[in-house]
Amino acid sequence: MRDMSARAPDPGVADGRPPSFATALLDPHPAVVSASQRRWLLLGSLAFASCAGSLRWLGQWAGLYGTAAGTAGFAALVFLASVFLIRHVSHVLQRTDAHRERLEADYRRLVEHLPLVVYVDELADNSANIYTSPQVESLLGFTVDEWVRDPELFVKQLHPDDRERVLTEVKRSNESGTPFVTEYRLIAKDGRVVWVRDGWSIYEDAHGQGVHSQGYLLDITRRREAEEELRRLAVTDPLTSLPNRRELIERLRATGADEAPHSLLFLDLDDFKTFNDSLGHRAGDALLVALADRVAACARRDELVVRMGGDEFAILTPSSVQTDLELLAQKLLSAVASPLSLEGRELWATASIGIASGGDAEELLRNADMAMYQAKGSGGNAFAFFSPPLHAAAKRRLGLSADLRRLTLLDELRLAFQPTFDLRAGGVEGLEALLRWQHPELGLVPPGEFVPVAEEYGSIVEIGRWVLHQACRHARQWAGTSGTPAVAVNVSGRQLREPGFVDDVRGALGESGLDPAALRLELTESVLVRADDTVRASIADVCGLGVQLAIDDFGTGHSWIGHLADFQPDLIKVDRSFLAEGNEPLLRGIAALARELGVRVAAEGIERTDQLQLVQRLDYDIGQGFLLGHPLPEAEATALLDRDATVPRTALRLA
């Protein structure tokens, strides 16, 4: 299309009528010499040529005979011949004109029936429009007259986002003379946005000289809209209608290119799998939609909220100021954590947020992800900023996750046994089996580090089965040495959701011949809080086998008191943080509650004598801690039991 940047008045419309397409196309200078003028020029030239030839011949003939009568006769003859010739030539020209008009009409019909707008522009700096076909009216709502008359109209109707690009392209093509095809938006008279494909080339004369430019505008709005819709679908999460991960990556790449400061908050719901499993996928989806709305409501206009997939969301913000980021993270945590009513049930969800600033898309995502794990590791419902040491921790974690899937893993695992003591009668009451991983390169890896990774990647199921069998086997050997001490086995939530869990327990008991009453399964309170029907059924079934149930790390989960009555455990093990804090009122309250419910109560983490005295004074049943006994290898645990059998039962009271 034309370049209107330096445009002169349009000579083709000087008489108020736009020129025809054929005129524009066939006549290089339509306004300089008109068709009728050219016709008379041609006639005159022919008449002159024929008269000149006849007179020369007449002159020769008259010179030969030299008679006046002859001269007059021949003059008349010449006149008649001239008239005849002029009439003949005029007739021929008339036929040429008719042919030309027919041709023009054919052209016009053809051009005006094409499903596109055809245009012809001058090939000059101003690119003045010579011809525009009437389809411009259905395309843009402007009549041909309006379109051709206003030299600025094309530039004015160019979409602001495309204007600069299109004008540059047109100018470049005008200068180089190369044809081009481009797509851009025009604003129609009624404000509609119309996508067009503009194909443009130079029409050259027989000598290869550029005469004018010609092109077409094809309406591609529907195709573009369909493409746009497809693109939108490709970058939109269908469940929450939020942009998806792909959109974030594209945006990050664009942001990275201009190196503007930016940060990413990576949000992951805590324990969403449990929600999903217990509520069902439909309710799980509804929960995600509700939380997506809350997360989106926390963001400003210049921030992008995306659903990364599953229970992960991300917020891209242009800020990298720490206090701003903290505020936003806090706002997000509160938004997620406020109670939610779903299908008649009241729910509390929490999230962990990792925050990273700067860097390219890959780096930013990786760093924010690492920081998120840091927040999750601190118990969830928290946020953490990325720092370089986190990088090392995440690398180690990744390495562990790979090593946990090694076939030889079970050969590297050991069990340590930490004694639990009867605080009233004295003596060893039980032994808690605690996992140890003797890693060939990293040395001893504590369970606090690898168990969460094993839970995440599912290897805890196989590891847990191994622990169960080992613990029952050892316990069977100890039975009778000092009464029958209970062997406590920690069970993760993931194991309870495995369909074969109850069979595993039954198998371990059957294989070892251990009395079920001597096996104590420890479930953390957070597992019980989120127990779905599958987990509840598993718990009921294993309890049906006659094994004991203990609630581990009691007091750290949410709304824990309700769960005491729900699961009727044999023992609750009060989390060691309460003893470490010296929170006597709480320790006393829990002991009273346990007594009320007829459940035995244990104090974890007894490290000092004053702590032992406190829990004894508060009438705790069982004690566990480094003061009383560290986790021991199996042989040492056996030796301890042997010794314990010989020690008077009141020994502990003297500690």
* Touching Mg ion, residues 560-619 (CB under 5 A): 604
Minimum CB distance to ligand C2E smaller for 427 or for 464: 464
Q: Which is nearer to Mg ion, 169 or 553 (CB)?
A: 553
Give the separation between CA 397 and CA 385, rounded to whole angstroms: 18
- Residue type present at position 461: V
Q: How many CB atoms lie within 10 A of CB 188?
A: 16
For residue 486, the minimal CB distance to ligand C2E (Å) is: 14
Whose tokens are 């316990």? That residue is 475
Q: State CA 394 to chain mean position distance.
A: 23
Q: Which of residues 394-423 bind ligand C2E (CB under 6 A)?
A: 418
Q: How far is residue 637's CA from residue 485's CA, in Å, rounded to a whole number?
A: 11
Rounded Cα–Cα distance for residues 505 and 472 (Å): 9
Q: Which one, of 263, 332, 244, 330, lies nearest residue 294 by Cα?
A: 332
Cross-strand pairs, 218:
197
Question: With binding defined as CB under 6 A, does residue 557 bind ligand C2E?
Answer: no
Contacts of 533 (CB under 8 A, 6+ apart): 278
Query: CA 243: distance to chain centroid?
Result: 6
- DSSP letter string over 91-126? HHHHHHHHHHHHHHHHHHHHHHHSSSEEEEEESSTT
Q: Which of residues 562-591 bind ligand C2E (CB under 6 A)?
A: 576
SS3 212: strand
**Out of 498, 552, 570, 644, the residue judged to bind Mg ion by CB under 5 A:** 552
CB-wise, 277 or 604, nearer to Mg ion?
A: 604
Give the β-pairing of 345-347 and 340-342.
antiparallel
Sign of CA dihedral 577, 579, 583, 589: positive
Cβ proximity to Mg ion, 202 vs 416, nearer residue: 416
- Output 135 or 495, the one with its CB closest to ligand C2E: 495
CB of 549 to ligand C2E, least distance (A): 14
Which residue number, 263 or 459, has a Cβ lying nearer to ligand C2E?
459
CB of 490 to Mg ion, least distance (A): 5
Three-class SS state of 384: strand
3-class SS at 513?
A: coil
Contact between 553 and ligand C2E per CB under 6 A:
yes
Tokens describing residue 223: 């195709």
Using CB under 6 A as the binding rule, whether residue 447 contacts ligand C2E is answered as yes
The CB-of-469 to ligand C2E minimum distance in angstroms stands at: 12
Contact (Cβ atoms closer than 8 angstroms) between residue 520 and residue 418: no
Return d(Cα 268, Cα 377) in angstroms, integer: 12
Q: How far apart are CA 206 and CA 561, in angstroms?
A: 97
DSSP string, 162-208: HHHHHHHHHHHHHHH---EEEEEEEE-TTS-EEEEEEEEEEEE-TTS
Of 446, 500, 510, 582, the one binding ligand C2E (CB under 6 A) is 446
When asked if residue 528 is in the footprint of ligand C2E (CB under 6 A), the reply is: no
Please identify which residue in 121, 277, 369, 552 interacts with ligand C2E, judged by CB under 6 A.
552
The residue with its CB nearest to ligand C2E is 625
Q: Which is nearer to Mg ion, 12 or 631 (CB)?
A: 631
| C-beta of residue 551 within 8 angstroms of C-beta of residue 563 | yes
Regarding 18 and contact with ligand C2E (CB under 6 A), the answer is no
Partner whose footprint covers residue 376, from ligand C2E, Mg ion, none (CB < 5 to 8 Å by kind): none
Contact 200, 213 (CB under 8 A): yes
Among ligand C2E, Mg ion, none, residue 388 binds (CB under 5-8 Å by kind): none
- Counting contacts by CB under 6 A, is residue 256 touching ligand C2E? no
Structure tokens belonging to residue 173: 């093509």
Please give the size of the binding site for Mg ion, defined by CB under 5 A: 5
Q: Binding of ligand C2E at residue 641 (CB under 6 A)?
A: no
Establish if 625 lies at the interface with ligand C2E (CB under 6 A): yes
Question: Of the candidates 118, 158, 316, 434, which one interacts with ligand C2E according to CB under 6 A?
Answer: 434
**54 belongs to the binding site for Mg ion (CB under 5 A):** no
Residue 612 sits in the site that holds ligand C2E (CB under 6 A) = no
127 near Mg ion, rule: CB under 5 A:
no
Piece of 119-127, 238-246, 275-283, 444-452 that binds ligand C2E (CB under 6 A): 444-452
d(CA 129, CA 9): 10
C-alpha span between 133 and 153 (Å, rounded)? 16
With CB under 6 A as the rule, give the number of residues binding ligand C2E: 23
Residue 129 binds to Mg ion (criterion: CB under 5 A): no
> Least distance (Å) from Mg ion to the CB of residue 244?
40
Strands 428-439 and 413-422: antiparallel
**Of the residues 248, 435, 475, 542, which one makes contact with ligand C2E according to CB under 6 A:** 435
Region from 167-175, 273-281, 367-375, 522-530 binding Mg ion, contact rule CB under 5 A: 522-530
d(CA 545, CA 548): 9
Return the number of the residue (272 or 437) whose C-beta is nearest ligand C2E.
Answer: 437
Q: Say which DSSP state 359 is in.
A: S
Minimum gap (Å) between residue 391 Cβ and Mg ion = 30
Binding of ligand C2E at residue 624 (CB under 6 A)? Answer: yes
x/- track of binding to ligand C2E for residues 508-527 (CB under 6 A): --------------x-----
Question: Smallest distance, Å, CB 467 to ligand C2E?
Answer: 4
- Asked if 276 and 270 count as a contact pair (C-beta separation under 8 A), the reply is no
121 or 552: CB nearest Mg ion: 552
Q: How many Cα atoms are found within 13 Å in the side-chain-facing hemisphere of 66?
A: 1
In whole angstroms, the minimum distance from the beta carbon of 527 to ligand C2E comes to 9
Cβ atoms of 328 and 298 closer than 8 Å: yes
Candidates 122, 422, 522, 570: give the one binding Mg ion (CB under 5 A): 522
Per CB under 5 A, which of residues 488..517 are in contact with Mg ion? 490
Residue 570 contact partner, candidates ligand C2E, Mg ion, none, CB within 5 to 8 A by sort of partner: none
Would you list the DSSP string of 18-87?
Answer: PPPHHHHHH-SSTTTS-HHHHHHHHHHHHHHHHHHHHHHHHHHHHHHH--HHHHHHHHHHHHHHHHHHHH
Find the shortest distance in angstroms from Cβ 331 to ligand C2E.
Answer: 32
Q: Which does 57 bind (CB under 5 to 8 A by kind): Mg ion, ligand C2E, none?
A: none
Q: Which of 135, 174, 459, 492 binds ligand C2E (CB under 6 A)?
A: 492
Q: Tell me which residues touch ligand C2E (CB under 6 A).
A: 418, 434-435, 446-448, 451, 464, 467, 490-492, 522, 552-553, 576, 605-607, 624-626, 631
Q: Tell me which residues touch Mg ion (CB under 5 A).
A: 490, 522, 552-553, 604
